[in-house]
Amino acid sequence: MAKPRIATTSLAGCFGCHMSLLDIDERILQLAELVEFDRSPIDDVKRIAGRCNIGLIEGGCCNEENVAVLRHFREHCDVLVSVGDCATMGGVPAMRNLVPLSECLREAYLDGPTVHNPGKRLPDDPELPLLLNRVYCCHEVVAVDYHLPGCPPSADTLWAAVVALLQGTPVTLPYGLLKFD
């Protein structure tokens, strides 16, 4: 029987949740035996070729590329998991939801005390993904099957969830593994 396939990605996140996944220590050898990694920053594969059993999403959506990647994952993954506070509620990037986007850009590229931008030009290269009006958590964009909050979720939390998903049992976290920080 083919190994179950896992895909992971970091959208508007800081890669902290991926660091937490690496933090499962020697269990990562067990994980490598149990699953095949599809698209992931770990192997740098860019597109999911076939179908994946599990998709782990770190980060919410702050730009149009995040939305496209998230939809790509939803299309190709049987079970989609929001990993970390950014994916489940927007996290630190969502602090900009309290400020209009134009003000954020003006502060970052024109008015900020350390800004050096003699051309007074906002980034507008067509290669750059367009920013969304605000930061969206994953379940505001696509249907999400499981949520693992935490900043980041601890290695034990991620391990407990991934093992339960691979075994086809419901993800139930013991008290100490459910954290919002």
Q: How far is the CB of 56 from another protein (least distance, A)?
A: 15
Burial of 4 (0-12, 13-18, 19+ CB in 10 A): middle
CB of 55 within 8 A of CB of 8?
yes
CB neighbours of 118 closer than 8 A, spacing ≥ 6? none
Does position 146 interact with another protein (CB under 8 A)? The reply is yes
Q: Which amino acid, 178? A: L
Among 5-13, 37-45, 46-54, 147-155, which window interacts with another protein (CB under 8 A)?
147-155
CB 64 within 8 A of CB 88: no
Residue 132 near another protein by CB under 8 A: no
CB of residue 107 to another protein, shortest distance in Å: 16
C-alpha 180/C-alpha 161 separation (Å) is 16
15 touches another protein (CB under 8 A): no
Rule CB under 8 A: say whether 176 interacts with another protein: yes
Residues 58-97 that bind another protein (CB under 8 A): 82, 85, 88-92, 94-95, 97
Residues in contact with another protein by the rule CB under 8 A: 82, 85, 88-92, 94-95, 97-98, 134, 137, 139-140, 146-149, 151, 173, 175-176, 178-181
